[in-house]
Structure 1
Amino acid sequence: MVTDVINRDSETMKTLALAVEALGMELDIPTSVADIGGSSLCLHNDPTMPVLTAQLPQYFRTTLILKRLFDLLLSLCLVAVASPIMLGVAFLVKRENKGPIIFKQERIGLYGKPFTMYKFRSMRPDAHKAKTLLAKKHNMEDRFIFKLKEDPRVTSIGHFIRRTSLDELQQLFNVIKGDMSLVGPRPALAEEVARYDFLYSSRLLAKPGITGLWQISGRSNLNQAESEFADISYIQDWSLPGDIAILLNTVVVVLRGTGSY
């Protein structure tokens, strides 16, 4: 229970509300303190003061179980359907050069827990070594997301599988393992998470997703503020119908190639 006064626009209150609800707990606050966007508020007649209980129904256990079942069943179906495509991509990646077919990288997941994310490799095997020099050359050392429209590290087949998002098909196995969801915030690197402010760190209250508001809102064309707004909006307002809508919109975005490079 929060009984002290917190300013209406306080990031502390917004972040606390998201964190408490996502962890399956209940947040009680006096009516004079309540200002929690996206929450349903229930009034209780406490003997000493009127109290509002803030609830985010989407974080109820039953809803989370349904989301997990939805992720698991749809991912298994997609793997079965997309297996021939994945075999074809694997062949093309291997034929172009002798590097590994699958790119593995540590990302940060739910509640800050690290996991290994899978993608079809779209860059040269020595791409990581060149990242620091490229970031400095293009004055992008302070960017949360380092991406270049004309990245010299990307292979020929890499350009194609990035534009069509085929490189991300391997992440279906991350969803099956439970590290990711079909829909959620973009899976972040540890170096990015270390720079999050108090409010933006609440994006760690949901599993990262293969797609999400970031992907259907412009992807790499978004600036930092727009990317952060998309992630926080998703955490605060997500629902299963909303996830389905994002998945359907993702098909349109992938066909158009919006913001993919």
Structure 2
Amino acid sequence: MTLTLLLAVTAAAMWCTTLWVLRAYDSRRIGQGPEEFSMVGRAAVTMLVALVLGSYLANLVLPRGYVLVAVPVAGLATAVHRYALRRWLHAQRHDGTALLRTLVIGSPSAVDEVVRDLSTVHYHGYDVVGACVPADMTDVEIADDVTVVGTMSDVPQAVIDHEADVVIVAGSGLSNSSLRRLSWALERTGADLVVAPGLIEVAGPRVQVRPAAGLSLLHVESPERHQGRMLAKAVLDRSVGFALFLVALPIIAVSALLVRLTSKGSAFYAQSRMGRDGQPFTMWKLRSMVVDADRMRTDDLLQRSDRDGLMFKMRRDPRVTPVGRVLRRLSLDELPQLWNVVRGDMSLVGPRPPLPSEFAEYHDAVHRRLRVKPGVTGLWQVSGRSDLTWEESIRLDLRYVDNWSVALDLQILWKTARAVVKGSGAY
């Protein structure tokens, strides 16, 4: 009993130490989502390796079952705690508390862009209390009625006057020497200095600062070059996809029977879609519309779409059968796509595969949606589903393509389950 208690206390201390070494307790990392959960995963792997090496070097015999159970349980418990803390923090920020008082400096256009972006995502915790712009531009108007509180030379005093916690430098309005002097001045105020370099929709894990010749070079990694992450995503797709397909088989069978009994035609619907890099494949769904629904897709029907852009969606599509409406409400019509995941045509998470007609009308930037395998679910589906505009859907898809990770995929799968249960944006 004493030995077990000693092992438990030692393991707990090691776990906390591992998290501390990996800077998981840094207040700036709290509430950051996939990056935070990825850090917990790295801590679990690091601790397992440390225990194995430590027991080998010290010639100690550790209970294998204890180690193989305790570390995953500690990782899972920490992830659950971080998730609860993140939800609480986001709720606090939504209510206007736990926010960082923020001063944005730079050219008016750059400041305006940063202010607009920050105003759309309050849960990140930045409350813009003022802006500083060049001396000859102080009469400009900034988005969200943000007040210009001074010029670029007034930043240190403005930080003190407005009790700012963070100073964000927008764009390239400051020279290297000016930025360096500003960092020195802010040391006395305690405010953090953040530089927004203008890399649109590029998340932190892809960006690394590398020193060279006295310079701080911002290195942007291509998401496709990380072979380990690509392998992990492939393993996740095939293993979890196959398991989900087996679990869904009875539901698919019952749903298919209901479709056949209530309307003429096959229970399944095969449709040509565009996969990774524009390669066509056959996507499978449970039929939720009447037979020959594609022929009924007239110009008059297209004009009644509830979506703008290329994607066609109708809340009350006359082609949908009564059973099909229920299947769509519960997203059961999508379940056969798990077979596409098992086959390798699709991923569990990714942009939705477009129709060939939609793909033919893509402009250059939108083609990047298909740099990864299309998915059964994706970032825009858990951010509003069919309630989003075409431009918002494309922006979210491109954000996913540029910043995908296994941790992000797991988070999207979790949010997808919640969205399906709530039925938000499904029709």
Structure 1 residues 50, 224: CA separation in 2 closer, same or farther (over 3 Å shift)?
A: same
Structure 1 residues 216, 136: CA separation in 2 closer, same or farther (over 3 Å shift)?
A: closer
Matched, 1:40 2:207: yes
| Other-structure match for 1:160 | 326
Q: Distance in 2 between matches of 1:136 and 1:246?
A: 30
Using the TM superposition, name which of 142-151 and 152-161 deviates more: 142-151
The count of residues paired between Structure 1 and Structure 2 equals: 228
| Other-structure match for 2:407 | 241
Give the Å deviation of 1:67: 0.4
Write the letter of the residue equivalent to 1:109.
Answer: G
CA deviations over 1:122-153 (Å, ceiling 9, x no partner): 00012111112443552779731111100110
Give the Å deviation of 1:56: 3.4
Give the Å deviation of 1:98: 2.3
| Other-structure match for 1:31 | none
| Other-structure match for 1:115 | 281
Bigger relative contact order, structure 1 or 2 (CA pairs below 8 A, ≥6 apart)? 1
Q: Distance in 1 between matches of 2:260 and 2:398?
A: 38
Write the letter of the residue equivalent to 2:247.
Answer: V
Write the letter of the residue equivalent to 1:212.
Answer: G
In the TM superposition, structure 1's runs of 4+ consecutive aligned residues that sit over 6 Å from their partners are 49-52, 139-142
Counterpart mapping for 1:4-23 below 5 A: none
Write the letter of the residue equivalent to 1:216.
Answer: V
| Other-structure match for 2:113 | none
The CA RMSD measured in Å over matched residues stands at 2.5
| Other-structure match for 1:83 | 249
| Other-structure match for 1:26 | none
Unmatched 5+ stretches in structure 2 = 1-109, 111-196
CA deviations over 1:205-259 (Å, ceiling 9, x no partner): 0111001112111111111111111101111111111110110111110011111
C-alpha contact (below 8 Å) 1:185/1:231 kept by paired residues? yes
Matched, 1:201 2:367: yes
Structure 2 residue matching 1:98: 3-state secondary structure: coil
| Other-structure match for 1:14 | none
Q: Distance in 2 between matches of 1:134 and 1:93?
A: 27
Matched, 1:126 2:289: no
Give the Å deviation of 1:50: 9.9
Write the letter of the residue equivalent to 2:262.
Answer: E
Structure 1 residues 224, 141: CA separation in 2 closer, same or farther (over 3 Å shift)?
A: closer
| Other-structure match for 1:28 | none
Counterpart mapping for 1:115-194 below 5 A: 115-138=281-304, 143-194=309-360
C-alpha contact (below 8 Å) 1:181/1:209 kept by paired residues? yes
Matched, 1:216 2:216: no
Give the Å deviation of 1:155: 0.5
C-alpha contact (below 8 Å) 1:213/1:230 kept by paired residues? yes
Structure whose alpha-carbon radius of gyration is higher: 2
Matched, 1:101 2:267: yes
Write the letter of the residue equivalent to 1:193.
Answer: F
Q: Distance in 2 between matches of 1:136 and 1:57?
A: 36
Write the letter of the residue equivalent to 1:160.
Answer: V
Give the Å deviation of 1:41: 4.2
Structure 1 residue matching 2:297: 3-state secondary structure: helix
C-alpha contact (below 8 Å) 1:216/1:249 kept by paired residues? yes
C-alpha contact (below 8 Å) 2:302/2:312 kept by paired residues? no
Q: Distance in 2 between matches of 1:86 and 1:149?
A: 24
Q: Distance in 2 between matches of 1:160 and 1:140?
A: 19
Structure 1 residues 146, 60: CA separation in 2 closer, same or farther (over 3 Å shift)?
A: same
Q: TM-score, normalised by structure 1?
A: 0.80
Structure 1 residue matching 2:351: 3-state secondary structure: coil
| Other-structure match for 1:70 | 236
CA deviations over 1:72-94 (Å, ceiling 9, x no partner): 11111111212111110110011
Structure 2 residue matching 1:199: 3-state secondary structure: helix
Write the letter of the residue equivalent to 1:132.
Answer: T
Structure 2 residue matching 1:149: 3-state secondary structure: coil
Q: Distance in 1 between matches of 2:218 and 2:239?
A: 38
Q: Distance in 2 between matches of 1:67 and 1:219?
A: 23
| Other-structure match for 1:4 | none
Write the letter of the residue equivalent to 2:274.
Answer: I
C-alpha contact (below 8 Å) 1:181/1:207 kept by paired residues? yes
| Other-structure match for 1:3 | none
Write the letter of the residue equivalent to 2:243.
Answer: C
| Other-structure match for 2:165 | none
Structure 2 residue matching 1:103: 3-state secondary structure: strand
Write the letter of the residue equivalent to 1:92.
Answer: L
Q: Distance in 1 between matches of 2:282 and 2:383?
A: 26
